[in-house]
Amino acid sequence: MFVNLWVLKSICIILVINDLSCNSTPASPHIHTHHHEEREEDGGYSARDKNHILNGQHHSEFDHEAILGSMKEAEEFDHLDPVEAKRRLRILLTKMDLDKDEKIDRKELHAWILRSFKMLSEEESQDRFEDADENEDGVVTWPEYIADSYGINSSDEDSDVSNEDRSEENKLLSDDKVMFEAADKNKDGSLNRAEFLMFSHPEEHPDMLPVILKQALQDKDTDADGFISFKEFIGDRAKHQDKEWLVVEKEKFDNEFDKDKDGKLNSAEILSWVVPSNDEIADEEVIHLFASSDDDHDDLLTFDEILDHHEIFVGSEATDYGDHLHNIHVFQDEL
């Protein structure tokens, strides 16, 4: 009886270890998530690297997605052994290396990261498109979109939007309707995959910027003069904030957004505030990756330097395996 109990406990431990190694979410905080249309407190679109460094802690998911151009592939790499991860990374490096010198310069890395950003948007849009296309006819209608995103049907939407005292959700719904119609280039009342990409990521498409600008002015420009003053910029947010918050927001307004220092934001400055620059984010990521892996400080990354630091670029099972082994006593105690 004792032997059978011991065997049973051993089998359970092995199964737990196997499940941790192959199927579960890593024990460390390593989670790939979409950032679609997240907004900052001031109303601007959230930057892609918003969660790269939080409270002084570095999160490598952003680095991995910036190299792989796919959240799904980044998750797959999390479960590869280091040898396989390096093999696949070397293949990517041959594509990244435009001049075929087996070294990656800053321009090559920057171009690759921008390419990855584009692919990430396309992947995310595709997933959302397939979720929304209820009848699988290759287009998403407005009723399909609001049913998927808001859980309401079109008759509910009509009654809500006509209500003058509408809720925050109804405001979002109204803004989405304007954006949907702007993305519907052929005016057939539905969005194909290309149009849906423009709708789901309007901040990345020049044709959609006028719509974003118009909505920003509608939300903030209370005196309708075509500009946004500091008072309009902070709006109702200032009601429950202290003086320190006000000073921080004023410095941000003056030093980051008001480029011509005239005390208000014009159209170009509004867009610069509301729409994050993927080019600038890519620049910062290049600086980060070079600082982390350019061991000989020659301002070039050799294939070997990148592969030696593969966990920075793409990750692997080894990144989190130590955490699983460290926590195995928890499962033994439970048994």
Task: Give domain status of residue 184, yes or no.
Answer: yes
With bands split at pLDDT 50, 70 and 90, how would you rate the model's confidence at 213? very high
Task: Give domain status of residue 208, yes or no.
Answer: yes
Task: Give domain status of residue 136, yes or no.
Answer: yes
pLDDT at 318 over 50: yes
With bands split at pLDDT 50, 70 and 90, how would you rate the model's confidence at 277? very high
Task: Give domain status of residue 44, yes or no.
Answer: no
Which of 198, 193, 72, 194 is closest to 133 using CA atoms? Answer: 193
Strands (E), the chain: 53-54, 57-58, 103-104, 140-141, 190-191, 228-229, 264-265, 301-302
The helix (run of H) or strand (run of E) holding residue 129 is helix 106-132
With bands split at pLDDT 50, 70 and 90, how would you rate the model's confidence at 23? very low
pLDDT at 200 over 50: yes
- Domain span at residue 91 reads 58-153+174-227+266-315
With bands split at pLDDT 50, 70 and 90, how would you rate the model's confidence at 285? very high
Task: Give domain status of residue 320, yes or no.
Answer: no
Q: What is the mean pLDDT of residues 241-260?
A: 96
Task: Give domain status of residue 205, yes or no.
Answer: yes
Task: Give domain status of residue 130, yes or no.
Answer: yes
The pTM of the full predicted model, rounded to 2 decimals, is: 0.81
Task: Give domain status of residue 5, yes or no.
Answer: no
Count: domains in the chain: 1
Q: What is the CA radius of gyration of the chain?
A: 24
- The per-residue pLDDT for 333 is 44
